[in-house]
Structure 1
Amino acid sequence: MAQTSLFFTDRINLTYELPMTPEEFTVSSDGGNTKVDVVNLGEILRLSPATSLQEVTLTLNIPVDLSRRRAYWTGKKLRWTGKTGGNNYVKLLKDWHINKEVLRVVLTNTPFNDLYVIDGFTSGFKDGNVDDWVCELKLVAWRSYKPKVLATKEVADKVRIRTTTARTNPAGKIGVGSSV
């Protein structure tokens, strides 16, 4: 079976391979459809023209001590090694979350390769084990968009000038202002 590794690439094209593949990896996407009740027909499904953003939840175990290579690690080219190398990976993930970085996330030997933003991040130790960081990430797909700027046309203010013209009286009628 082929080995699977998890890579993150940031906006300045630096690629980081994590020491271990995710313990849990879930991809979910909603169709964006809505259910509507129609009189004399019942409930129908109104299809949405676009799908909602894809969400990925993953749980990572990152060893704190990266000074010695372990047999269960999947990462081959680690950026940080040493007694506190795992702390640097956790700090990097936290910084990406705080700065809302757009990341390319690749899980090798799978079709998973897309742009995401870390929308949720938790880290800590579990079950009294302080040798491994447990990080839970919620990734949300990022779509490029460009707002459409509409040109506005200057409309000249129209000034309405009232002209006073003498109103003529119909023939044979006497009214206010008539000379008698």
Structure 2
Amino acid sequence: VTHYLTANKLKSRAQDYLSLLIKLYKAKKPIRFVISSTAVSIKMTIARFTFGFKDGYADEYACTLSLREYRSYAAKRVKPKKKKKKVAKKGKTRSKSAVKVSRGSVVVATGSLYSTAVGGTKLNATVKNRTVKVMLISPNAKYPYYIQTLTNQPLGWISKANVRGS
């Protein structure tokens, strides 16, 4: 067995080395593990350290040392990503957003009128770009809007595609 030791100043007793290892083990702080003549230089912590006399021989200590690679950890401040604002290109205009049509809404209507809620009887009347008021709504019907004039004269039922909010 060949032992290599490089140190600027050697300790005089074996107990001094044991005391140093015990201190490092209890501190749970990283140490630098270096293998000379190689590129190995790793931060490590002492995971387990035991020592004692072997086979009753009181002049030499038997030690077991387990090392674990140290990985630093810290809380990081994370900033949310800023959303880029979309800028409309020059010359192009946006279409109007959809307006929710509800009972009492004043809308512009265009199309043929129907007299029953299910759209069974077509009236001989049409409206074209006429401002009207929605009086009833039947959400699942083919002609869901019952409209009347702004002076409260009933007109009839009209399809959803023909009604736009004003």
TM-score by length of 2: 0.40
* Higher percent of residues as strand: 2
TM-score by length of 1: 0.38
Q: Relative contact order, CA 8 A, sep 6+: which one is greater?
A: 1
